[in-house]
Amino acid sequence: MVRLQSVEERHMDLGLAGKRAIIVGAARGIGIATAEILAREGCDLAICARSEDGVKDAVASLKRYGTNVVGAAVNVKKEDAYKAWLAHAQEQLGGCDVLVPISSAGGGIGSEKYWQNAFDVDVMGPVRAVEAVLPGMIERQGGAIVLIATTSAAEAMGGPQPYNALKGSLVIWGKQLALAHGKDGIRVNVVSPGPVEFEGGNWDMIKGTMEKFYQSILRQQPSGRLGTPEEIARAIAFLASPAASWCNGSHLTVDGGFTNRTHF
């Protein structure tokens, strides 16, 4: 009788052992799932999120993989504190080989405050992180950056809102970074997740408060379910790894077939 391996048991050496990774927004959802995979692959990690308890729990959990894991509670909107943490994280790790800035302000339709919030978190969060790690990556002539956009940036959905528009800017910026720094041995790629459901996440809350809308999205999924954080994290980890050495400037949609776009 053949026994199928669980996801935890399946392992492909991505060449990440000994790499140093910074993940911004790693206490829950896609962030902690990405941290789990990178730690399991042998990466030393520096993680942050807004919740001090969330970061403490994440660090404690990740240390079971035997790599160096450090973390702190940081609000990416507080520029000075955020920049200071990014510098300190690199000092603690001895550098940065992999950067994954995931923090997001989420959606919202309405006043200008939503635009400012999304700009501060979804745009300037990644921008400041990239600017912090680029000098070291250039000096070492190597590194991998994975930006996180969304399928909402690729198709008109959810109404006119800053989340969609500003996440879309990361796709363009990611390509520009890839073209500018390929000569430095730095790869920059973008992952656009479709709807992802996990306990306490946005789609979990939508399921409980906007049941009809949730069901309408569910009907658009060919597999009849939403994605999991781990399914997105595996794609992020691959693009961050030497196994994806010829992926640079790519934009990978990971949505289970949710979007209707075709690619030529």
Rounded CA gap, 144 and 178, in Å? 10
pLDDT tier for residue 177 given thresholds of 50, 70 and 90: very high
The residue assigned the tokens 């009809």 is 212
Q: What are phi and psi of 225, to 5 degrees?
A: -150, 165
pLDDT (0 to 100) of residue 158: 66
Q: What pLDDT is recorded for position 192?
A: 96
pLDDT for 79-129, tens place per residue?
999 999 999 999 999 999 999 999 998 766 777 888 999 999 999 999 999
Q: What pLDDT score was predicted for residue 18?
A: 97
Higher pLDDT, 207 or 253: 253
| Rounded Cα gap, residues 107 and 167, in angstroms | 10
Higher pLDDT, 205 or 117: 117
Average pLDDT estimate for 61-86: 97
Predicted confidence at residue 11, as pLDDT, reads 57
- Residues 161, 162, 168, 169: is their CA dihedral positive or negative? positive
Could you give the domains of the chain? Answer: 20-254 (3.40.50.720)
DSSP string, 30-52: HHHHHHHHHHHTT-EEEEEES-H
pTM given for the model: 0.92
Q: What pLDDT does 148 receive?
A: 97
For residues 251 and 178, is the Cβ–Cβ distance under 8 A?
Answer: no
- 146, exposed or middle or buried, with CB in 10 Å at 0-12, 13-18, 19+? buried
Q: Give the mean model confidence (pLDDT) for residues 41-47.
A: 98
Q: CB-based burial of residue 47 (10 Å sphere; 0-12 exposed, 13-18 middle, 19+ buried)?
A: buried
- Mean local confidence (pLDDT), 190-200: 91
Closest CA to 47 of 91, 86, 104: 86
